Amino acid sequence: MNKKTYKIKETLSNALELPKDIILDVAKVTLIGSDSITVENHKGILEYNEDQIRVNTGSGVLIIIGSKLNIKSILQEEITITGEINSVGY
Amino acid sequence: MIIIRLWNFLRGYAIIIVEGLRIERFINMAISNGIYIWDIKKQSYTSISAKIGLENFGKMREIVRKTDSSIVIKEKRGFPFILKNLKRHKFFTACVLLLVVTVYMLCSYIWMIEVVGTKTIDPKMVMEIVNQEGLKEGVRKAKLDKRSIENKVLIKLPELSWIGIQIRGTKAVVEVVEKREEPELIGKADACDIIAAKSGIIHKILVLNGDGVVKDGTTVQKGQVLVSGTIVRENTETRLVHSLAQVTARTWYEDAEEMDLEQIEYKNTGRKTIQYVLKILDKELGFQKTVPYDEYNEVREEKNIISFGNYIFPVKLISKRYNELVEVPKTLTVDEAKKRSEERLNERLKLQLSENAVILDKKINYIVEKKSVMAKISVEILEEIGVKKRIQAK
């Protein structure tokens, strides 16, 4: 997606109040407490260790750091990770 | 998600261990091929454990080949494997099935019948008739026609005004309402005499309506007419009226009681034995041991041991407690014997007295013999003896 189309889509979604994750194809990250994280719209796992998981998304690589991390379930569009999560970032 | 899990349990799933250097690639390929994997855990640096549905297992081979990893099934879980296991243990399965079927069967029968609501009728009699009409212990619930049984019992037992059969679990509760026995009503318009309910001497007679036949001081016999409702006058037609009168009379009551001086009393020695017997349906299982005492009394307790709420099964544990008794011969003194017989006489007297009776005089005479005491009571009572009796129209 080039920058021009991205800008148009962003403006459009802002104007029409449409959910950005659908229009722009970016990830929607839901963190529940500190022991469960759900990433919707992901683009695959890049690294999986007990203390660090890297997930590819439309807006960059999401890095989840913690301990005893497990992948509770993984589907084409959604991944749920449980464990003690310390930090989440791009 | 739980629906997917349940689905997977029903379809069966396997816990696999995947080993390889490119685990992440393996996971990504799996999901892009539409394979659902869950509960992924890191085992070591190069291996993970995960759960995978059985039907997807075939698709794994290709991915395994492409990612240069190896795959091992650690455990198979889910319904298909449980079924497989059960097939292997045929006897066990048969036993479990038999048990389930037995419990189900037992639940569909009636194992206990209870009669409630009886006042003057013996519940056993109701039970007997109910049994005759087909509601017995061990009858199938589905076969019961409650309405027709209720109707038939009502016809057979005219004393009942209502009957209801309720089935609660394995118990049938027969609820009955008895007819209240109505006294023979003599309306104000009906002609009647007043007769004596007891023999005695008229103390006072107050005639409000009708012709008084007796006077104060007359000795009357039981059943004798005191006030006549048939009024005969010269020159007029004979009339029938509804008699009204208050008749009080002195009556006598006599009773006797003989009390032996030599009495045998039973005393509890404190020693006891308890026997347990299992009762299934009507059969008692267990060893009937002989009771090691010469004299004893038996306390019997029955307990349902298998019951789930209202579902009671016909298995009972009966405990029989035998208390040893010992004979203690006791010689009463004359005074003690007198006292005891007097107590008994008084008790019986109380039952005989009507509500508005007044005791005028009470005498107790004792005849003391060698081995016993005879007590005789005679009581003079002032009571109402008038009873209405309908005059049968000719």
Nearest to B227 by CA among B241, B243, B238: B243
Enumerate residues 6+ apart whose C-beta is below 8 A from B173.
B113, B114, B116, B165, B166, B167
* Residues of chain B contacting residue A75, judged by C-beta atoms under 8 Å apart: 31, 36
| Angular region, A83: left φ>0, alpha ψ -120 to 50, beta rest | left
Which stretches of chain B sit within 8 Å of chain A by CB? 1, 23-24, 27-28, 30-32, 34, 36-42, 48, 50
The confidence score (pLDDT) of residue A55 equals: 93
> Do B77 and B12 share a structural domain?
yes
Q: Is the pLDDT of residue B35 over 90?
A: no
Q: What is the pLDDT of residues B122-137, one digit of tens each?
A: 888 888 888 888 888 8
SS3 B243: coil
- Please enumerate in sequence order all residues whose Cβ is within 8 A of that of B58, keeping only pairs 6 or more positions apart, or say none: none
Instruction: Please name every residue paired with B200 in a beta bridge, in sequence order, or none if there are none.
Output: B220
Binary contact (B34, A76; C-beta < 8 A): yes
Domain A27-89 has CATH 3.30.70.1450: no
**Closest residue on chain A to B32 (Cα):** A76
Contact B41 A70 (CB under 8 A): yes
Instruction: Quickly state the pLDDT bin for A80 (edges 50, 70, 90).
Output: very high
Q: What is the pLDDT of residues B98-108, one digit of tens each?
A: 999 988 888 88
pLDDT value, residue B181: 67
Asked if A77 reaches chain B (Cβ–Cβ under 8 Å), the answer is no
Task: Please state, in angstroms and rounded to a whole number, the distance separating the CA atoms of residues B331 and B340.
Answer: 13
Last residue of a domain, one of B221, B249, B277: B249
Residues of B in contact with A42 (CB under 8 A): none
Q: Per residue in B204-225, pLDDT tens?
A: 889 888 888 888 888 888 888 8
Q: Domain of B306?
A: 262-331
Residues B271 and B323 in one domain: yes
| DSSP-assigned letter for residue B333 | P
Which pLDDT band holds residue A64 (cuts at 50, 70, 90)? very high
Contact B373, B173 (CB under 8 A): no
Say what the ipTM of the complex is: 0.81
CA atoms within 13 A on the CB side of B21: 1
Residue B365 included in any domain: no
Q: How far apart are the first and last CA of chain B?
A: 94
| B23 contacts on A by Cβ (under 8 Å) | 48
Residues A19-27, mean pLDDT to the nearest whole number: 76
Of A44, A74, A75, the CB nearest to B40: A74
Nearest to A49 among B38, B42, B50 (CB): B42
User: Are residues B305 and B271 part of one domain?
Assistant: yes
Q: Residues B226, B196: contact at Cβ < 8 Å?
A: yes
A48 contacts B27? CB cut-off 8 A: yes
A61 in contact with chain B, both atoms CB, cutoff 8 A: no
8 Å CB contact of B28 and A45: yes
Whether B8 and B75 map to the same domain: the answer is yes
Assess A76–B contact: CB distance below 8 Å, yes or no.
yes
| Residue B31 with chain A: CB contacts under 8 Å | 44, 74-76
Give the span between the Cα atoms of B131 and B133, in whole angstroms.
Answer: 5
Same domain, B28 and B77: yes
Confidence of residue B183 (pLDDT cuts 50, 70, 90): low
Compute the distance between CA of residue B60 and CA of residue B178 in angstroms, rounded to an integer.
Answer: 78
**Boundary (domain end) residue, out of B280, B303, B331:** B331
* Chain B interface includes A74 (CB < 8 A): yes
A60 at B interface, C-beta within 8 A = no
**In-domain check, residue B370:** no
Which chain B residue shows the shortest CA-CA distance from A49? Answer: B42
pLDDT of residue B229 exceeding 60, the answer is: yes
Same domain, B122 and B159: yes
With CA atoms as reference, the chain A residue closest to B26 would be: A45
Please tell me the predicted confidence (pLDDT) of residue A82: 93
Nearest chain B residue to A70, by CA:
B41
Contact A74 B23 (CB under 8 A): no
Any idea what the CATH number is for the domain that residue B159 is in?
Answer: 3.10.20.310
Mutate to test the interface with B, among A55, A57, A71, A84 (most CBs of B within 10 A): A71
Torsion of CA B70, B73, B74, B78, to 10 degrees: 150
Give yes or no for residue B61 having a pLDDT over 80. yes
Whether residue A44 and residue B31 make contact (CB cut-off 8 A), yes or no, is yes
Q: Is the Cβ–Cβ distance between B227 and B246 less than 8 Å?
A: no
Domains in chain A: boundaries: 27-89
Give the CATH number for residue B15.
Answer: 3.30.70.340
**Structural domains of chain B, count:** 4
State the pTM of this model.
0.43
